[in-house]
Each structure stands twice: as structure tokens, then as C-alpha cells.
Structure 1
Amino acid sequence: MYDTILIPTDGSQVAQHAVEHALDIAAKYDADVHTLYVVDTGAMDVGLGTEQVDRLRQGQFGSMPEVRERAESATNAVAEAARGSGYDLEVTEAITAGQPHRQIASYAEDNDIDLIVMGSAGRGGIKRALLGSVAERTLRTTHLPVLVVDVHED
């Protein structure tokens, strides 16, 4: 049923909680695992300039090592969780830039993903209506199954 699972991550605790679910599903279905970090170019500082944002969209992170480090740290955390899970899972790590929901959907299509497992920040009320969330936008952008793991803080 699920041969390839995508775990989009931003390195947050909510994303890490989704990783546990995704790895469990991957082990049950003997699925390949991909993890993706999307540099949100829409949220980048306006002071960067168009040229810098274009470089990010093309995957040229050399001029912004802190962005590359944050992205690699997030995807590495997923790979480490897979190695430490006791399951025999290989993880493909990827970094891209653009609108997160669109990049997630595009990556999923390009890599024959069968299931997307991602965290939700659990926003509600007005914030949710005004801002939306990457998870909600991903649900509207792709026709693939999306498992959204919500974590409520105590």
C-alpha cells in the first residue's frame, strides 16, 4: 500500500513527533523514507533581495550557510531517528526552496510518494483561518494521502 513515505520537516518538536508515526508506518509496509526541508522563500527577509531569493529557489545555499545548516540539521534528525528506531530503514534527505506546500506536493509527485506524514502546529480559531498552515495547504495541493500528526502542549 505504501512503498514510499515523505516526511516534510522544519526541525520542530511537532515535526519530530510526526517522524515517529512515519517510521512506524514505513517499517510495517517496508517502505522507503524521504525527508524534505523546504526553505520558505515567502517568509525570507525582504532585505535579501530578489537575486538572493532566486539563488535559494535554485538550491544554491552557499551564500547562506545558516540556512543550509538549519535544513541539514532538520533532515539529519529524521535520518538519525530512523537509524535509532531499530527498523532497517534508509532515508533519502532533500532540501529545496519555495512555498512549502507547493514544494512538498511537487517533491511527492516527482518521487512517486504514496503517503505524506507531517506535523501540524495545531493552530486554531482566527489564526488558523487567517494564516492557514503548511499541513492544510498541502492537503489542498496534493491528491495523495496526508497523515497530519497533531501535538497539543500540556
Structure 2
Amino acid sequence: MRKIEKVLVCVDFSDYSQETLEYAMAVAPPKAKIVIINVIHARDLDAMKVLSSYFNDPAIVEQYLAKNTDVRKKKIENLVANSFPHLAGKFEFLIRIGMPFDEILNTIDKENIDLVVMGSKGRGNLSRTLVGSNAEKTFRHSPVPVLSIRQRKSSIPPEIQGQ
């Protein structure tokens, strides 16, 4: 079995993100480096480019990327601070731009990742979808194991939960 030295944690700020990070920390060996990735979707950037051309202002795209990158880094820092404030140096944060599954697969190669931990569905998926499209594409094409995290639901029926 391959030694796990680097774990890639994929977060999209959906309900799965905190739990995904917690699972990654639970399965990662103590000396493993944790790389947290978030991807600014290419379609969002394309929409900003259209807006930019409509107003003939190329700075719109640059401003969008700068602001969005800062906001996302702060959200990732908050995820870490909520559960692992004493381990801040263990994490590396990456914000990428593109198709999420492509950026995840590229990061696996570039960063020599040994394990990927990600939610099974993201923000944009319909509730009936079993596996999100980015998760499915990552599962199918990843050269390393992918741990799929599902949001934990209570097994206690709602009518007796507060008793």
C-alpha cells in the first residue's frame, strides 16, 4: 500500500465542506500535509467576461477574481479555524480557476497527492442526484484513491429527536 503523505481536500462551501475537512483529518496520518482546494468555476469567469465586454471594462474580470479569491481564502481559513486552529501550519490552501474536476485532477498530479477527500454532492446538484458530476468525474479519472463524504444524517426519526 502506498504511504499517504499528502491529502487533497476539496471544498465548495456546501454543507459537506466542514465534514469533509474533518474526515480528511481523521484519516490522514499525523505527518501528512493537507492541501485544501477550492475552484472558481470557469462558467462564472465566462459570465464575468461577457459582462466585462458589455461594459467595455476589462477590469471587471480582474476585480471579480481578486475579490472572489480573497473571499474564498477567508472561508477556507474559517473552516480550518473552526475545527483545527492549533494545526494551522499543517494546511496549504489552493484557489484554482477552471472546471472543478479538471483542476482537481491537475492538482493531484502537480502536488503529488496520495488521497483525495471530497463531498459526494456539491452546491449545484439536485437532491435526487446520487453523485455530483464533478465528484463522479473525479472518481472515474483519479489516479489515487478518492474518499467520498456524505453528509451525516440522524438515524433518529424527527418526531422523537427532542425528547
TM-score (norm 1): 0.74
**Aligned counterparts, 1:4-153, within 5 A:** 4-26=6-28, 28-42=29-43, 44=44, 47-49=47-49, 62-64=62-64, 65-81=66-82, 83-84=84-85, 90-121=90-121, 127=129, 132-151=132-151
In structure 2, runs of 5+ residues without a counterpart are 53-60, 155-163
* 1:35-54 CA-partner distances (Å, limit 9, x unpaired): 01100112x175422697xx
SS in structure 2 at match of 1:13: coil
Q: Cα distance, 1:134 vs. partner?
A: 1.6
Verify: 1:3 aligned to 2:10, yes or no: no
Task: Verify the 8 A CA contact 1:2 1:114 in the aligned structure 2.
Answer: yes
SS in structure 1 at match of 2:101: helix
Q: Cα distance, 1:141 vs. partner?
A: 2.4
Query: Please, what is the CA RMSD of the aligned residues?
Result: 3.0
- 1:13 to 1:114, Cα distance in 2 relative to 1, 3 A: same
SS in structure 1 at match of 2:84: helix
Q: Cα distance, 1:144 vs. partner?
A: 0.9
Task: Verify the 8 A CA contact 2:80 2:88 in the aligned structure 1.
Answer: no
- 1:49 to 1:145, Cα distance in 2 relative to 1, 3 A: same
Task: Verify the 8 A CA contact 2:42 2:99 in the aligned structure 1.
Answer: yes
SS in structure 2 at match of 1:33: strand
SS in structure 2 at match of 1:49: helix
Task: Verify the 8 A CA contact 2:121 2:130 in the aligned structure 1.
Answer: no
* 1:91-134 CA-partner distances (Å, limit 9, x unpaired): 011111000001001011101100000112286786458xx422
For residues 109 and 10 of structure 2, the distance between their equivalents in structure 1, rounded to whole angstroms, comes to 14
Count of residue correspondences: 141
| Identity over aligned pairs, percent | 21
SS in structure 2 at match of 1:35: strand
* 1:12-48 CA-partner distances (Å, limit 9, x unpaired): 221111110101122x342111001100112x17542
- 1:4 to 1:62, Cα distance in 2 relative to 1, 3 A: same
